[in-house]
Homo-oligomer: A and B are copies of this chain.
Amino acid sequence: MISILQYYNNELRRLSIKELNQALHQHQGIIWVDLDDPLEAEEETILVSLFDFHPLAIEDCQGGRTEDEGHPPKVEDFGDYLFIIFNPVEAVAAGENGENAHGFEIRTSQLSAFLTKGVLVTHHYKAMRSINFASQLVGKNPQILGRGPDYLFHMIIDDLVDNYTPILDRLDESIDRMEEEVFHRPAQETMVSILQMKRNITTIRRVGLYQREMLNRLSRGEFPLITQDEMIYYRNVYDHLVRMTDLADSYRDTVGGLLDAYLSVTSNRLNQIMKVLTLISTIFLPLSVITGFFGMNFAYLPGLNWEYGVLAATIFMGLVATGMLWFFKRNKWV
């Protein structure tokens, strides 16, 4: 689906492809072309015939059709236009088994954009909340488009980056739950979940770092297509990404600590079990020898015929057991 918006003479118009062609030739106003899951023919018409973008850039756009993760973020200056790839992220329920019900996987997708003097072309195969959001905003307040394609594009990626926040919050919650589990109900699934979480954090961190670097370049005045006045807005998005990646970094540290904790808790459990085993062996093995002693068939075994023999032996066994326990307590083994 292709939607074309033009802001011209303080008015917002929705153009057909034909009108677009005309508007481009007459350099009329500011234009936003959004290709939402376009057909190959549409891509051909718009990207190749109308705008004549570089084949490699178009190839990078189209890579997003088949690949799950999309092309990693990048910005390339072709002189007349900037080609920018951004990676939105979303959380997808992992849910392979019932136990890991709160597990989720972070997936990246691809938003490609061409930024020229007066025109912004966005291109994506998956539906994007931020595009819809920008579209509505422009509908309500056409002057946003009037501020130029660089301002509009900043708005789209600012919203994309804001969408990272709920995912990071969800990661934070997961970490808290994992922490709970590690210290109170450690199980093998905990380990699996922690490893899954670690991968998620790595994904979001990697994408964040790439885009942070990219926005650093966009906000430094390296590209003339981003005007001096708009650079501060890109700097703002950069700042948000710095915070995201910072959070991701600190989550990574915490998850690393959780792994250590898990191993430690597991080894603690082993110690606990060994203590019980030792305690029981220590108390009952000697008693077993004592009963064995009086079970020997020696004719002259003393006390066998003594009236209080059994009592004495029982008391002796009690004393041995108590003494052992006392010795253990003293050494803090129990």
Give the B-binding residues of A (Cβ under 8 A).
54, 56, 59-60, 71-72, 74, 76, 78, 183, 188, 191-192, 195, 198-199, 202-203, 206, 232-233, 235-236, 239, 242-243, 246, 250, 253-254, 257, 259-278, 280-282, 284-289, 291-310, 313-314, 333
Contact = CB atoms under 8 A, between A and B. Distances in A.
28 contacts: A56-B236, A59-B236, A71-B243, A72-B242, A188-B264, A188-B268, A199-B254, A202-B250, A203-B250, A206-B250, A259-B260, A262-B264, A263-B263, A273-B278, A274-B277, A274-B278, A277-B277, A287-B292, A288-B289, A288-B292, A291-B292, A292-B292, A294-B297, A296-B297, A297-B301, A299-B304, A301-B310, A302-B310
Contact of A206 (B246, B295, B300): B246
A175 to B, nearest CB: 11
Contacts of A286: 280, 284
Given A71-B243, A273-B274, A288-B284, A261 B195 contact: yes
A202 B256 CA distance: 13
A285 B282 contact: no
Contacts of A54: 232
Q: Is the interface of A mostly helix, strand, loop or mixed?
A: helix
Nearest to A247: B69
A333 B183 contact: no
Contacts of A333: 272-273, 276
Stoichiometry, as copies per complex, reads 5
Contact of A296 (B78, B235, B262, B294): B294
A192 B302 CA distance: 54
A211 to B, nearest CB: 14
A313 B299 CA distance: 13
Contacts of A250: 199, 202-203, 206
A240 to B, nearest CB: 10
